[in-house]
């Protein structure tokens, strides 16, 4: 029994598996620089949202205070 076809099949299978694994894993990863930029953008947006919510609440409180004053 010859082992050449088995050895060739194993080598080809390993090569195809490696290529498929490397292609699939690259699609799921994000570079560190891009992650940091997106994370900074998220943090800035969250801060801006919180500030806008606080300003809106302050304005609503002021409006309700003035609208409750008797004339």
Beta-carbon-side half-sphere exposure of residue 26 (alpha carbons within 13 Å): 6
Lowest mean pLDDT among 28-32, 41-45, 47-51, 57-61: 28-32
Strands (E), the chain: none
Instruction: For 49-69, write each residue's pLDDT tens digit.
Output: 999 999 999 999 888 887 876
**What pLDDT is stored for residue 64 in this prediction?**
85
Buried b (16+ CB within 10 A) or exposed e, 3-21: eeeeeeeeeeeeeeeeeee
**What pLDDT is stored for residue 63 in this prediction?**
87
Is 57 or 1 the better-scoring residue by pLDDT?
Answer: 57
């Amino acid at each position: 029994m010859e082992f050449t076809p088995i050895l060739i099949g194993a080598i080809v299978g390993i090569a195809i598996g490696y290529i498929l694994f490397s292609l699939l894993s690259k699609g799921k990863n994000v570079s560190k620089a891009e992650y940091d930029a997106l994370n900074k953008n998220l943090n800035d947006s969250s801060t801006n949202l919180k500030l806008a919510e606080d300003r809106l609440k302050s304005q609503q409180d002021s409006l309700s205070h003035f609208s409750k004053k008797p004339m």
